[in-house]
Chains A and B, each alone.
Chain A
């Protein structure tokens, strides 16, 4: 790659590759590195030992390191950094890398490699790291010369954090980390083959504004890109100026305040009746940092054919996200923040406003859908309803906690019932749908915000996928609260089996569960088991009152509860199954 380096001020210090790694991290303002040592990274760990600027967090499994770094990045917006050894260190990390990649999370992953002379010889703990991770990273590098190390790390941070963010991996052979060279870290770099466009096309923005102002049934559909692009303020300003309904994707929750009247809830497979119907019926749809994926709009053919007159405006920093699953009428490539700012400026400059009567009629229709109260559940149940736990959690944390989740029914209930008013508060794996992320995500968040309340909403199946990290939480004093919605089933699998596989619950029952209370205690934490609806609130209050303890709350919930509404896979988004229909 051709580089335009700034003039070198003076000759740098002579450092080893390992020391250079640490100095680069320091220069990037990295405070925490999540990792696990091993043979190929011993020099780097030696360099970590000799300094104080970068704090290393020792996890119990490399997957935990990646998820923790990922959670840290999701909550802070800064790149997460993970460090693992070669071979199994890397393969264990792959799930975490792919998880971050699917949700466009900025991360820099540093991996050790066998010494350069041994590469290709099937050496001990050797694997083709660059090859294995290639389809799951935004970019990756193998450093073969210590002189290239600093500039490569600079490139890694640059690529990871700009444009559509993503994980970038730097593979460093053991000998390179011990070779010495003069250290220079450039302030800035330019890559001729990589220059993301942030400024949107003025003419396209004008077209978009015209469509929006003429709309009869407008809809603003906001995805995770608005959070990654720090555009929440702009989304809210535009929505309020126009008075249009807003929906968020699972990844976009918090980008628009959920308690606002213009918010119609999450859309998608488990979206609200009003959000999905409004999305399907809209005549002008403004998509902001969203990608029309299968869990959001269902079948793209049904989505388009059901409403062929609908005009779609799509703002995204990644051109390949535009017109991928759904044909778009007004594509606008650019940073969502920058484009929305221009759109708002153009709107303010024109006297034209939407016709109040037309928009009022649209809201009337939306309110009729809203009146179906699609998220209602049996509040008088004698068994704990999982939804009620989330509602209490919301109340007790005043809607202001960082909520991480795993993957499954509990994730959907958390998304539906915890009303996120701020971005970066909802931390979950949307794209890859990785069970096991919840606890390490909570670790990463708590590491970033020690004073904030952090709860991990999980299930008895997911939590066991990275349960070993309870030990890390003890070592680093990370008093997160684990809200385990324990229904003794892989709930979402069970739900699909009930709906689509004739109630044949193949291998979805979680037999031989551990005693989570004792398990938590064995790791040095507090465990609580809650079996009655009347005890839910008290238990949560007690747990959150224990500011300095990790509390594992094991809620024994209704085994038969399902997530509604539900759009069956492959169907159009307005073909929802609602709870009363069963």
Chain B
């Protein structure tokens, strides 16, 4: 099953390597991993999407907590949460396809952020499924380049992840 782990880590050199190294050393999956500083400059927040049985995800959580640089770990998928991913797609958009690409982007509430005669660069935010669906909706051959940030997540309501 897919799990979204939110991890607060000390803003120390090497913290990312420790987390990434833990996953590779113990044979755990990482589907996506994002990391950036938080409102507290001494800490960064990682969102890790991983898959595994309940036992494995329990171990991952425990092993993450064991890292000295890790301040807190929460499995967002255990509660109500919002998840978003940002994608930038460069799509061939010349001639007769140009209108169709724009229409598809509008349907998915994507924004065209760069334009040339032959191509559009579209920005799209949403769940992983929505981004996948957008790519499905495009003509495969027209996709020139895809960049995705990986998932970020946050709990719903007033609940916050902090020390």
Contacts and interface: CB of A to CB of B under 8 A. Distances in A.
A192 B163 contact: yes
Interface stretch (B17-25, B93-101, B136-144, B147-155): B17-25
A320 B56 CA distance: 11
A320 B13 contact: no
Interface string B59-80: 1001101101111000000000
A138 B68 contact: yes
Interface of B: 9-10, 12-14, 17-18, 21, 25, 42, 55, 58-59, 62-63, 65-66, 68-71, 163
Given A134-B21, A139-B69, 11 more contacts: A1-B69, A2-B42, A131-B17, A134-B17, A138-B68, A142-B14, A159-B68, A193-B68, A318-B66, A320-B63, A320-B66
A60 B21 CA distance: 32
Contacts of A49: none
A134 B18 CA distance: 7
A135 interface: yes
A149 to B, nearest CB: 16
B62 A320 contact: yes
A39 B88 CA distance: 50
Contacts of A524: none
Interface in A99-148: 130-131, 134-135, 138-139, 142
A1 B17 CA distance: 17
Interface size range of chain A in the complex: 20 to 34
A55 interface: no
A159 B68 CA distance: 8
A191 B85 CA distance: 33
B25 A135 contact: yes
Contact of A134 (B14, B63, B66): B14
Contacts of A476: none
A203 B34 CA distance: 39
Interface string A184-228: 000000011110000000000000000000000000000000000
A194 B67 CA distance: 8
A119 to B, nearest CB: 11
Given A1-B12, A135-B21, A192-B163, A320 B68 contact: no
Contacts of A193: 9-10, 68-71
B68 A194 contact: yes
21 contacts: A1-B10, A2-B42, A134-B14, A134-B17, A134-B18, A135-B21, A135-B25, A138-B68, A139-B68, A139-B69, A142-B13, A192-B71, A193-B10, A193-B71, A318-B66, A319-B66, A320-B62, A323-B58, A323-B59, A324-B59, A327-B55
Interface of A: 1-2, 130-131, 134-135, 138-139, 142, 159, 191-194, 318-320, 323-324, 327
Contacts of B62: 319-320
Contacts of A319: 62, 65-66
| 6 pairs of A and B residues whose beta carbons are closest in the complex | A320-B62, A139-B68, A193-B71, A319-B62, A194-B68, A135-B25
A324 B61 CA distance: 12
Contacts of A191: 68
Contacts of B55: 323, 327
Contacts of A324: 59
Contacts of A131: 17
A304 B106 CA distance: 56
Contacts of A194: 68
A2 to B, nearest CB: 6
A320 B64 CA distance: 9
A145 to B, nearest CB: 12
A318 B68 CA distance: 13
A139 B42 CA distance: 19
A327 B58 CA distance: 12
Contacts of A134: 14, 17-18, 21
Contacts of B66: 318-320
